[in-house]
Amino acid sequence: MTEEDYKNGHVILIDKPLEWTSFQVVNKVRWLIKKEFNLKKIKVGHAGTLDPLATGLLILCTGKFTKKIETYQAQHKEYTGVITLGATTPSYDLETEIDETFDISAISEEKIHATTQQFVGDIQQQPPVFSALKKEGKRLYEFARAGEKVDIPTRSVHISTFEITNIDLPNVSFRVACSKGTYIRSLAHDFGKALQNGAHLSALRRTKIGDFSVEKAVSIEEFESQFKSPTS
């Protein structure tokens, strides 16, 4: 890739590592490109945030292709992950500590499979309070961390596939295909409620965005290595 390639527009598929924010990935890639070509600035943006505790496909656009970000963001996404039954957390994932536990001895595999059907199609979903959505000019997680209660309106999302791929209680592995704006953490939380129990998301990996697949993505290290001069 040349300097002009990045300026004219390029799509970079990154397999985001665990505990990195999407913003950190963008900053790292931008820094590498600027350093390689001795640039003062280069536009780099991502098409859809992944939580720090999630891994997988992150689409980055450079230069003129940053105008395509909204198009990519609007596309359907696919995820795999693990829902842990029998316990809830305020963030609906492992970012916060368990706040309530439940007895899961009465939950059968048949009930787990059957309950997924409640979430296929157009559903109403309430985003987690521990999220970056804004209300009254503040991020929701700012209210949450300050211990302030806030009303979060539900939103309509579409889930085309909710498939259970393995059950090893309390852990339930799944694959989900869904629309833009779907929170898999909220899905995990609501799934626990539908089982008359509790649940939280304990692992998440984004595998697809539209026609883009994580199988074609590179790690941060692999992306960085293409800029390193071969040793003599």
Burial category of 102 from C-beta neighbours within 10 Å (exposed 0-12, middle 13-18, buried 19 and up): middle
Q: Considering only CA atoms, which of 32, 194, 218 is closest in space to residue 114?
A: 194
Strand 77-85 versus strand 121-125 pairing type: unpaired
Q: How far apart are CA 16 and CA 50, in angstroms?
A: 8
Residue with tokens 């979903």: 125
Q: How far apart are CA 24 and CA 140, in angstroms?
A: 20
51 assigned to active site: yes
Q: Considering only CA atoms, which of 154, 218, 228 is closest in space to residue 11?
A: 218
Q: Which of 15, 51, 93, 190 is catalytic?
A: 51
Please name the helix (run of DSSP H) or strand (run of DSSP E) that holds residue 140, with its range, or none. Answer: helix 140-145
Q: How far apart are CA 173 and CA 163, in angstroms?
A: 9
Please name the helix (run of DSSP H) or strand (run of DSSP E) that holds residue 208, with its range, or none. Answer: strand 199-209
SS3 at position 42: coil
C-beta of residue 101 within 8 angstroms of C-beta of residue 91: no
- Could you list the active site residues? 51
